Structure 1
Amino acid sequence: MNEPMRAATAAYEQTIRSTLGLAGTLGEADWRLPTECPGWTVKDQFAHLVGVELDLLGDPRPDVDLPEFDHIRNDFGRVLEKAVHVRRPVPGPDVVAELADALERRLAELPGLDPDRLVTCPDGREGPYSRFMKFRAMDCWTHEQDIRRAVGRPGNLGAPAAHCFWDLMSPGLPRVVARLAKTEPGQSVALKISDPLDHHVAVRVDDDGRGHWTDPENPTVELAMTWETYVRLTAGRCTPEAVTVEITGAQDLATRVLPNMAITP
């Protein structure tokens, strides 16, 4: 493994093991709790993780007829839902056992894979397999946090995979500010993120209408929020009304930026 692949694999393993440890604390009622992913319960989140890992291992995909679910909006969502739906009658601990087995199989497989092999990553861009694994770490961690919020057991917010989330998602902020929020040239938006990850960054829209990173001092508006709030907004888990954001400066610009922060692929 090269260093990027080693780091991504370690982050991936850490968050799945943290999720497996969390599963050991769950009671029967916890498995049925809804999460911020529409249509998915806590157990469904585990089933999703299992389905993706088994797919990457090359196991046959489940052959199941899906009902018409309101939360499925495209063919990709339908593919993902099959692994979830086929496990809805399966007890939660059995789904967790599947995930634990899939993790060990993946960890045995990964050292033999070429970290530089080009693949299509979840954002649609081609990149080395090490970058794909960074996305896997981020995705698994995001679902771990979904589960933790649903069952009221916070933790692992500052995990290595949390840094993967920032590295992969923050490059989308210039587009959010310039294109989606339609920020005027010369204006800038600063984000002050804290607890447990700290980031103080800003995007300025230049005369060409594009967003560029800039100094976070004296922005048109500053949005201060916790790391968890940033993750929930960026992952599309909630609306701005559901979280606390301290706004300093141009309120009208803030009201255009915050609803457009959901940029997960």
Structure 2
Amino acid sequence: MDEPMRTNTAAYEQTIRSTLALAATLAEPDWDLPTECPGWTVKDQVAHLAGVELTLLGEPAPDVEVPEFDHVRNDFGRFLEAAVQVRRPLPGPVVAAQLADALERRLVQLPGLDPDRIVMCPDGRDGPYSRLVKFRAMDCWTHEQDIRRAVGRPGNLDAPAALCFWELLSAALPRIVARPGKAEPGQSVAFRISGPPDFHVAVRVDDDRRGRWVEPEAPTAELAMDWETYARLTAGRRTAGDVTVQVDGDAELAARVLANMAITP
């Protein structure tokens, strides 16, 4: 197993084990609490994680009719919902046990896979299998945080998978600043994220109207927020009006960027 595959697998394993440890402490009513992920309860979140891992293990998709939920907007969403729908009659601990079993089987499977085999990643781009595992770490951590907020049990915000989240989703910031943010050539937007993990980065729009990473010096606008706020915004869990963000500099530019921070569908 090469280094990227090893690192991403460790991050993936850590966040799922953290989720399972939390699940073991939940009372029966906790499983039905709504989360910030539209349409999904705490149990649904765990069902989704189990379903994806079982699919990656080669198990067939569940044969179940998915109702016309408002939060299911396309065929991919319907595919993901099937794994959730089929588990809705099951008690939460049973669903958690399925995720635990899937994790152990995946940890046996992963060392035998070619980390350089090219596959389609969730962002629609081809990439090595090790990158797919990085996406799995990011997704599992995102849903762990959904569960933790729902049950009022914060934690694991600075997990190794949080770095996967940052590295994958921050790649969209240059596009956001340049396109929906409509920054003019020469303008820059800095992002000051306090955690841990902590990040201080900036994007400048050049003459070709493309955003590029630069040092965060004398930006046109700066957005300062804590790490959890950044994660909620970029994961599409909350909008700018729902969270606290300190804005310095060009307020209109900052508002356009904040209004378009959601990266995941």
TM-score, length-scaled by structure 2: 0.99
Counterpart-to-counterpart distance in 1, 2:208 and 2:255: 23
SS at match of 1:213: strand
Question: Which residue is 1:234 aligned to?
Answer: 234
Inter-partner Cα distance in structure 2 for 1:149 and 1:62: 29
Tell me how far apart the structure 2 counterparts of residues 264 and 112 of structure 1 sit (CA, whole Å).
Answer: 30
Q: 1:154 aligns to what?
A: 154
* In 2, Cα distance between equivalents of 1:19 and 1:99: 10
1:54 is aligned with what amino acid?
Answer: L
Letter of the structure 1 residue corresponding to residue 229 of structure 2: T
Match of 1:225 in 2: 225
How many residues get paired? 265
Match of 1:255 in 2: 255
For 1:148 and 1:259, locate their aligned partners in 2 and report how far apart those are by CA, in whole Å.
25
Cα distance between partner residues in 2 of 1:38 and 1:213: 33
SS at match of 1:29: helix
Residue 172 of structure 1: how far off its partner (Å): 0.8
Q: What is the CA-CA distance between 1:48 and the residue it aligns to? A: 0.2
SS class of match (1:154): coil
Q: For residues 174-230 of structure 1, give each alpha carbon's deviation from its aligned partner in whole angstroms, at most 9, with x where no partner exists.
A: 000001111111111000001111100000111111111112111111000001111
CA displacement at 1:61 relative to structure 2: 1.2
SS of equivalent to 2:185: coil
Q: Distance in 1 between matches of 2:115 and 2:162?
A: 21
Q: What is residue 119 of structure 1 aligned with on the other side? A: 119
- Which ranges of structure 1 fall in alignment gaps of 5 or more residues? none
- Quote the offset at 1:91 in angstroms: 0.2
Aligned residue in 2 for 1:187 = 187
Alignment of 1:1-265 (within 5 A): 1-264=1-264
User: Aligned partners of 1:66 and 1:264: how far apart in 2?
Assistant: 22
1:1-57, Cα deviation, whole Å (9 max, x unpaired)? 000000000000000000000001111111111111100000000000010000000
* CA displacement at 1:264 relative to structure 2: 2.2
Query: Percentage identity across aligned positions?
Result: 75
Matches of 1:243 and 1:233, distance apart in 2: 8
RMSD: 0.7
SS in 2 for 1:127: strand
Alpha-carbon distance between aligned partners in 1 of 2:34 and 2:251, rounded to the nearest angstrom: 33
Q: In 2, Cα distance between the equivalents of 1:214 and 1:60?
A: 46
Q: Separation in 1 of the partners of 2:213 and 2:58?
A: 41
SS of 2:182's equivalent?
Answer: coil
TM-score by length of 1: 0.99
* Runs of at least 4 residues off by over 3 Å: none
Q: How far apart in 2 are the matches of 1:51 and 1:215? A: 41
Q: Which runs of 5+ in 2 are unaligned?
A: none
